[in-house]
Amino acid sequence: MTSASSPEPFGARLRRAMDERGPLCVGIDPHASLLTDWGLSDDIAGLERFTHTVVEALADRVAVLKPQSAFFERFGSRGIAVLERAVADARAAGALVLMDAKRGDIGSTMAAYAATYLDPASPLFSDAVTVSPYLGYGSLRPALDLARESGTGVFVLALTSNPEGAEVQHAVRGDGATVAATMLDHLRAENAGAAPMGSYGAVVGATLGGAAAAQGTDLAINGPLLAPGIGAQGATAADLPRVFGAAAGDVVPNVSRGVLRHGPDVAALRESAERFAGEVREALGG
Task: Report DSSP letters for 203-269, one per residue.
Answer: EE-GGGTTHHHHTT-----SS-EEE--BSTTSB-GGGHHHHHGGGGGGEEEEESHHHHTTTT-HHHH
Answer for the pair 207, 234: CB distance below 8 angstroms, yes or no: yes
Question: In 61-193, at which residue ranges do the beta strands (DSSP E only) sit?
Answer: 64-67, 96-103, 128-131, 153-159
CA nearest to 172, candidates 181, 161, 163: 181
Residues labelled as active-site residues: 102
Question: For 230, which DSSP code?
Answer: B
Q: What is the C-alpha to C-alpha distance for residues 51 and 268, in angstroms, rounded to an integer? A: 15
CA 3 from chain center: how many Å? 27
Is residue 110 within a helix (H) or strand (E), and if so which, with residue range?
helix 107-118
